[in-house]
Amino acid sequence: MLFYSFFKTLINQPVIVELKNDVSIQGQLVSVDQFLNIKLEDISLVEENKYPHMRTVKNCFIRGSVVRYVTIPADKVDVGLLQDAARKEATEANKK
CB of 76 to another protein, least distance (A): 8
Strands (E), the chain: 14-19, 24-32, 38-45, 60-62, 67-71
Residue 82, H or E segment: helix 79-95
Q: Which residues bind another protein (CB under 8 A)?
A: 2-3, 6-7, 20, 36, 64-65, 67-74, 77, 79, 82-83, 85-87, 89-91, 93-94
Which is closer to another protein, CB of 53 or CB of 96? Answer: 96
CB of 87 to another protein, least distance (A): 6
What is the rounded distance in angstroms from the CA atom of residue 70 to the CA atom of residue 10? 11
**Measuring CA to CA, which residue among 58, 41, 45, 55 is closest to residue 18?**
45
Which is closer to another protein, CB of 47 or CB of 58? Answer: 47
Which is closer to another protein, CB of 35 or CB of 58? Answer: 35
